[in-house]
Amino acid sequence: MLAKLQYALNSGTLNPGIRIVTASEKIRTPYADPFTREIVLQQNFLCYLWAICYCMNAFNRMAFEQALDHKLISLNRSPEAPVINRMFDWAIGLGTAHENWPEELPKPGGSAQWVKETDSVFLFAVRYIMYHEVAHLIFHRGSLELLSRHRSGQLSAEDRRRFVNMENQADDYAIDITLEVFPDEQYRYMNMLGGIIALLSMFFLRADDDLRGGKKHPDTDERLKRLLRRVKFDQPEHSLFIHYTVTTGLQVFFERHQIPYLPEDQASWQMEDFDKLYQLFYDKVNERKALYHQFYPLN
């Protein structure tokens, strides 16, 4: 994978430049420009991603602190909850309109411990996204005709299949190069954590609870599963933190869209392991997707 990246740089297939779009507009997710061979990152999206990284880090920290003294965890019990809720609501709002960073909220580059941790996770999340976009420039520059048909709205079933395959290939490249470049477990863990939060941010950005990928992308939950299948660590605390991040993120998604997912008697409700908890949550996601397929089929 590294050899392909180096060849792309040497041959001019990949422009090492990054274009930052600073226009005051609603979020536009990163993309690879096949004409300029640049990766395009929107400032508003970067603000959103940092805020989501902060919230996910805070959710995890608050939950672990409560787990020491409480059988049932409630994030609203923490004194930091109002700030986290305000941060999350502001970040979600960026998906519909630009809004300047509220003065009362934490910001990148601060001295607080949670901010320092967020700065680190954010960089790994951006790195994972950029590896994905680099893959498009390396492997898919010959697909300009397909992109033109997409812009014209005239995609065949085969065109949609090719788009989904291209996205899966880009995801696999981002994972593969992460594992190759960072053999040290701590760095692999941080990269995987960044990738997972980057994917979870796609869950939260949706205005509805339809996680289907549409005409160009795999389903959002399937992309998350694809990454999780590659998560293997020797240190149990790394696996625990990854699993906790994912299951917390899925619960935040369910809460955001008011999807019931837990039994009424939560105090006595237990799961034997994370696999069974994942299955419960994925079954709930599949139920929602089945409803969308029934009433809003993807033609």
Residues of the chain with pLDDT > 90: what percent?
Answer: 51
**Domain count for the chain:** 1
Look at residue 5 and tell me whether its pLDDT is greater than 80. Answer: no
Look at residue 185 and tell me whether its pLDDT is greater than 70. Answer: yes
- The mean per-residue pLDDT over the stretch 185-209 comes to 93
Q: Which carries the bigger pLDDT value, residue 12 or residue 156?
A: 156
- The mean per-residue pLDDT over the stretch 17-41 comes to 88
State the average pLDDT for the chain: 85
CA distances from 162 to 90, 142, 147, 210 (A): 36, 12, 11, 22
In order, the DSSP letters of 261-290 are -S-S--TT---SSHHHHHHHHHHHHHHHHH
Containing structural domain, residue 143: 14-295
| 64-73, 80-89, 211-220: range with lowest mean pLDDT | 64-73
Asked if residue 25 is part of any domain, the answer here is yes
Q: Which pLDDT score is estimated for 299?
A: 64
Asked if residue 145 is part of any domain, the answer here is yes
Q: Which pLDDT score is estimated for 62?
A: 79
Asked if residue 3 is part of any domain, the answer here is no
* CA proximity to 121, closest of 51, 64, 179, 174: 51
- The mean per-residue pLDDT over the stretch 146-159 comes to 68
Q: Which pLDDT score is estimated for 190?
A: 92
pTM score, whole prediction? 0.89
Asked if residue 215 is part of any domain, the answer here is yes
Q: What are the pLDDT digits (tens) for 44-62?
A: 999 999 999 999 999 888 7
Residues 149, 163: Cα–Cα separation, whole Å: 11
Asked if residue 9 is part of any domain, the answer here is no
